[in-house]
């Protein structure tokens, strides 16, 4: 996979960086240091943030949104795939874990849920 910044993304970054600086100054900052992203993309100067959370996976429906199969505790025909199941990012790139959980959920949907729709985990 090749990732690079296109001309429009570089322009968008410059525009947004300037707007953010204006907002920060209006909030009372004494000094604002701006750094614009430039092409080509360079992983050594910018690391992405891997946002997680929002539909936390767990064993208890009172403290989590989805069960171990990423199935909603409240709506049995709703499966939430993705990094939203994690309470926070455990480290770098959660892609492999997300993929493994998606495979796990898809297998459970196919082998369990479709044969007997309903909650896959009793709590």
* pLDDT single digits (tens) 64-97: 999 999 999 999 999 999 999 998 877 677 889 9
115, 54, 61, 121 alpha-carbon torsion, rounded to 10°: 20
Q: Are residues 62 and 107 in the same domain?
A: yes
Q: Are residues 61 and 28 in the same domain?
A: no
Q: Are residues 55 and 96 in the same domain?
A: yes
- Which amino acids are annotated catalytic? 50
**pTM value?**
0.62
pLDDT at 48: 61
Q: State the pLDDT confidence band at 52, using cuts at 50, 70 and 90.
A: confident
What's the structural domain count of the chain?
A: 2
Q: Are residues 39 and 59 in the same domain?
A: no
Q: Are residues 104 and 56 in the same domain?
A: yes
Give the residues across from 66 on adjacent strands: 57, 72
pLDDT at 47: 60
Domain of 74 in residue numbering reads as 50-123
* Residue 121 neighbours by CB under 8 Å, 6+ apart: 59, 67, 68, 69, 71
Q: Are residues 55 and 42 in the same domain?
A: no
């Amino acid at each position: 996979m090749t990732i690079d910044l296109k001309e429009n993304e570089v322009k968008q970054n410059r525009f947004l960086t300037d707007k953010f600086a204006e907002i920060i100054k209006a909030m009372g900052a004494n000094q604002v240091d701006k750094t614009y992203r430039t092409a080509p993309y360079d992983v050594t100067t910018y690391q992405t943030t891997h946002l997680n959370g929002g539909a936390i996976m767990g064993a208890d429906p009172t403290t989590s949104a989805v069960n171990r199969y990423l199935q909603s505790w409240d709506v049995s025909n709703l499966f939430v795939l993705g990094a939203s199941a994690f309470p926070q990012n455990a480290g770098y790139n959660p892609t492999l874990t997300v993929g493994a959980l998606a495979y796990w959920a898809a297998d459970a949907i196919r082998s369990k849920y479709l044969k007997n729709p309903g909650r896959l985990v009793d709590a």
